[in-house]
Amino acid sequence: MPTLSNREIANIFETVADMLQIKGENIHRVLAYRNAAGSVRELARDLHVVAAEGKLTEIPNIGDTLAEKITEMLDTGKLEFYERLAAEVPPGVVDILRVNGVGPKKAQMFWKDLNITTLAALEEAARAGKLRDLPGMGAKSEKKIIEGLESLARQATGRIPLGVALPMAEGIRAILLRIPGVTRGEVAGSLRRGRPTIGDVDILIECENAAPVMDIFVALPEVARVLGHGPTKSSVELHNGMQVDVVVLPRQRWGTALQYFTGSQAYNIRMRALALAKGFSLNEHALSPADKSGNIIEDAPKTYCATEEEVYAAVGLPWIPPELREDQGEIEAAQKGTLPKLITLDDIQADLHMHTTWSDGKLTVRAMAEEALARGRKYIVITDHSRSLGIANGLSIERLLEQQAEVRAVDAEMGGSIRVFHGTEMDINADGNLDYPDEVLAQLDFVIASLHVSLRQERTQITQRLLNAVNNPHVDLIGHPRGQYIPDREPVDADMDAVFAAASKSGVAMEINANPRRLDLEAPFARRAVQLDIPLSINTDAHAGDQMDLMSFGILTARRGWVEAPSVINTWSVERFIEWTTSRGK
């Protein structure tokens, strides 16, 4: 019997929500499955363990009915309800929802009227002119379907990595901020929340005269096609397949709009419920007086909010940081006054994971130290690859000790302006052994152990490899613990409950790798580590000087994981860092 992972169960719930929506089921039932999918996907614990503890209903958005369905999937490897729906709604119809401009009603119409059940069949029908005569369609709509299919082909996963989306969005925002009359601009949506992958991008612009902003935006050279060009909102698709929407609004509506366009769907539903309890209907425009059923009271004066803080005050909450707005307990924490004081980039004192020309880096030890000093770092650790990683020019024991002499010399040359320590990023080999013997590790200032090979091993094997590293007294940090590489490689199938339990005992730290292709640990696991008092370290894994600037992506991920500065070892002073590593047997 196949064992389903958290991710697979979340995908089943997500597909159930899509199929129910295609069938035209009650939206609340659809949202129940969609919200459950989000909660399972964000869960940092193995559902098998949570179920064994009898705590499934303690997961946000999981009640008794959905807990029973999770139990069924854990026990049998399938969900009978999903099987019944799949017999009614062909899975390919769900795929059609990924096409820009195709909602549940259109997907149902294509299926029922033309028996279109795959993306290939949809493209064939569109290019043959068979869609235009359907109700609500036409030649123009048919053309948009073809363009949407072409866009989907360019955007294989339908999601854009954070490291691609954020610089692109910030670049567009910077251009729009230079337009005369524009007073403010912010990237919103899941990008502002720092999610590792992005569906589309929302940018809000504050300006009294929207027309010039709209015209300049749709004419940008990055734009592949214009999806919509309205008086205050325009949508485009960029050449990389990313959709960007720009909304222009006056100052008085800035706070409500930014709050609305930032939160997740589940979060915004909660915020609207809080507003209704205070007698308001909340949307992106204003807080409108409403009765208990949510019906707006006509002719009653609306409350406009120029800042997000005003919106939160109106519903009885303190301001909640954007990265937390996922309906994962942050509203309850705000009500209790227990929101975390989230880590910031200014808290970072060091970078403990970087590579030089000794292995696969681009700069020398001295040059990396100078680059780190220029960015305000107080200390760094040089951690080139170990001997087994031949593809990265890993260091033999002899070369490792030669490098140590150079690191010590550079440390002395820097005259105390920045401390330079010597370490390694050591492979956890496929057979479970560590790449250097203990007597070598004992000579290093700092040891990272990482998975690089045989990442698709069975769960028991991959878990044991991690446990071997966690339990070695010379290992200080587990690098990018789940081995993901966005969007090309899924995380390893490891029992993170077991790994975290061992880490909690041994005191080893877990890395949040700031490279946007990794962002590993992911936010839910970082939050779980903090709950278990496992120290964290946010590092860039830099192979060149400019890659040290990736630290901000790691900070975003940590903030999404409710991480505060004291939990992160590279926010500590150099004295405290030395004391910590020494206490671990260095």
Q: What pLDDT shows up at residue 451?
A: 96
Residue 1's pLDDT is what? 53
Q: What percent helix, strand, coil does the chain show, rounded to 5?
A: 45, 15, 35
Q: What is the C-alpha separation between 233 and 249, in angstroms, rounded?
A: 9
pLDDT at 295: 83
Of 295, 293, 325, 319, the residue nearest 305 (C-alpha): 319
> With bands split at pLDDT 50, 70 and 90, how would you rate the model's confidence at 585?
low
C-alpha 546/C-alpha 551 separation (Å) is 10
Query: Rounded to an integer, what distance in angstroms lies between the CA atom of residue 218 and that of residue 367?
Result: 42
pLDDT bracket for residue 90 (50, 70, 90): confident
Q: Which amino acid is at 540?
A: T
- 481, 499 Cβ separation under 8 angstroms: yes
CA distance 509 to 507: 6
Q: Which of 237, 144, 232, 159 is nearest to 198 (CA)?
A: 159
Nearest one of 111, 126, 197 to 157, comparing CA atoms: 197
Stated length of the chain: 586
pLDDT at 158: 60
CATH class name, domain 345-583:
alpha beta
As a whole number of angstroms, the distance between CA 438 and CA 45 comes to 32
Are the C-beta atoms of residues 212 and 222 closer than 8 Å to each other? no
- Which of 556, 569, 562 is CA-nearest to residue 528? 562
Question: Which of 50, 12, 8 minimizes the C-alpha distance to 34?
Answer: 12
- Look at strands 379-382 and 509-513 and give their pairing: unpaired
- Say yes or no: domain 160-249 is CATH 3.10.20.600: no
Residue 157 has pLDDT above 80, yes or no: no
CATH of 254-336, one of 3.30.210.10, 3.30.360.10, 3.40.50.2300, 3.10.20.30: 3.30.210.10
Band (154; pLDDT cuts 50, 70, 90): low
Asked if residues 299 and 305 have their Cβ atoms less than 8 Å apart, the reply is no
User: Given pLDDT bands bounded at 50, 70 and 90, which one contains residue 103?
Assistant: confident
Q: What are phi and psi of 395, to 5 degrees?
A: -85, 130
User: In the chain, what are the domain boundaries?
Assistant: 6-154, 160-249, 254-336, 345-583
Model pLDDT, residue 155? 55
**Digit-coded pLDDT (tens) for 280-315:** 999 999 999 998 888 888 888 999 999 999 999 999
* Residue pair 101/22 in contact by the 8 Å Cβ criterion: no
Contact 156, 240 (CB under 8 A): no
Q: Specify whether the CB–CB gap between 362 and 348 falls below 8 A.
A: no
Q: Which fold has domain 6-154?
A: DNA polymerase; domain 1 (1.10.150)
Q: How far is it, in rounded angstroms, from Cα 484 to Cα 487? A: 8
For the chain, report the end-to-end CA distance as a whole number of angstroms.
46
Q: Which residues contact 255 (CB under 8 A, 6 or more apart)?
A: 305, 306, 307, 308, 309, 310, 311
pLDDT at site 521: 94
Strand partners, 282: 287
- As a whole number of Å, the CA-based R_g of the chain is 26
Angstrom CA distances, 379 to 167, 351, 409, 416, 535, stand at 28, 7, 15, 9, 18
Helix (H/G/I), strand (E/B), else coil: 280: strand
